[in-house]
Amino acid sequence: MSSEADTTSLAREERPEAEARPAEVRSRRVTLITGASGGIGADLARVFARHGHDLALVARSGDKLEALADELTAAGTPRPLVIAADLTKAGAVAEVAAVLKAAGASPGILVNNAGFGLLGEAFKLDAKEQLAIADLNIRAVMEMTLTFLPAICAAQGKILNVASVAGYFPGGPGMAAYYASKAFLLSYSRALHQELRGLGVTVSAVCPGYTATGFQMRAGINTRAALAQFPSTTALEVAEAGYKGLMAGRREIVPGFFNRLTVLLLPFLPKPLLLSIVSRLQKNRPL
């Protein structure tokens, strides 16, 4: 009898303590966008914000991110979290995760947009810069995805990878590392789309063709070169198509009629011919 009384007394003593525990704080659910300081990334931020998404923006340039955050806030959206980080550096993704955790934020949507390319032959270009392409376009995408995948799965969220029409080509003589990195990203997106669909997560790859942004200057592409004379899409058109396709759960999104026609015809053209055409286009010369 005394044993039962002691147990009841203990339960009564513990109950106020349990009731006093603070309720779990619900995470701030954000759309996390990398490479958001300009070009397609900045327009993706604008499109997501327009559709009511709370944002976390990542790029090397903190000043440009703050300016974009000011612009979006002035338009009446919640102020995005700004995270200045160079994703080519070891430990950068962990830093992004730490900032999000400190802010009580968790990604429901991840947009892997950060990336760059270099025009030139592999044996002439700087080896460290070519390896940086692999670090940003491949390793950082995988690390961001794997780091935040548990949260995205828990939210039954979405992943958008910004690939390229280049990923459909058999190779890119004159931009070998860039073309290879986009082929990887397209393949990775397709596989994840299939793996995660049963968990309620959709993975999409948006594959723009030539799009005039700061990418060309970084890559060393002459804006009068043959490659730049083909029909192009704007960064905003790519962002809007990417958002629409992601929300619809599409696996691959190719903005622009000319780009879709190119992708449709590629399987029917001999690989040696395609490699020769790409090589000539990327000589950085006017038509």
Which residues are identified as catalytic? 178
In angstroms, the CA 134 to CA 143 distance is 12
In angstroms, the CA 104 to CA 118 distance is 38
Q: Which two tokens stand for residue 222?
A: 């002459």
| pTM for the whole structure | 0.86
- Domain containing 136 equals 27-281
Q: In this structure, is residue 9 part of a structural domain?
A: no
Q: Which residue has the tokens 């995408």?
A: 141
Q: In this structure, is residue 12 part of a structural domain?
A: no
Closest C-alpha to 28, from 114, 111, 99, 112: 99
10-residue averages of pLDDT along the chain (287 residues) = 42 40 62 96 97 97 96 93 96 97 97 94 95 97 98 97 96 94 98 97 95 69 62 89 98 95 96 93 68
Cα angle for residues 260, 262, 263 (degrees, 5° grid):
65
Q: In this structure, is residue 195 part of a structural domain?
A: yes
Q: In this structure, is residue 286 part of a structural domain?
A: no
Torsion of CA 102, 104, 97, 76, to 10 degrees: -110
Q: In this structure, is residue 19 part of a structural domain?
A: no
Q: Which residue has the tokens 């070998």?
A: 176
Whether 121 and 72 have beta carbons less than 8 Å apart is answered as no
| CATH number (domain holding residue 113) | 3.40.50.720
Q: In this structure, is residue 16 part of a structural domain?
A: no
Cα angle for residues 240, 241, 246 (degrees, 5° grid):
100
**DSSP H/E element including 45:** helix 39-50
Q: In this structure, is residue 37 part of a structural domain?
A: yes
Whether 199 and 158 have beta carbons less than 8 Å apart is answered as no
**Cβ contacts of residue 242 below 8 Å, gap of 6+?**
40, 44, 47, 160, 162, 204, 206, 253, 255
* 8-state DSSP, 99: H
Q: In this structure, is residue 149 part of a structural domain?
A: yes
In angstroms, the CA 209 to CA 163 distance is 10
List 57's β-bridge partners, or say none: 33, 82
Q: Which two tokens stand for residue 286?
A: 């006017």
User: 10 Å Cβ neighbour count for 232?
Assistant: 17
- Supply the DSSP string of 108-159, one letter for each residue: EEEEE-------S-TTTS-HHHHHHHHIIIIIHHHHHHHHHHHHHHHTT-EE
Number of structural domains the chain divides into: 1
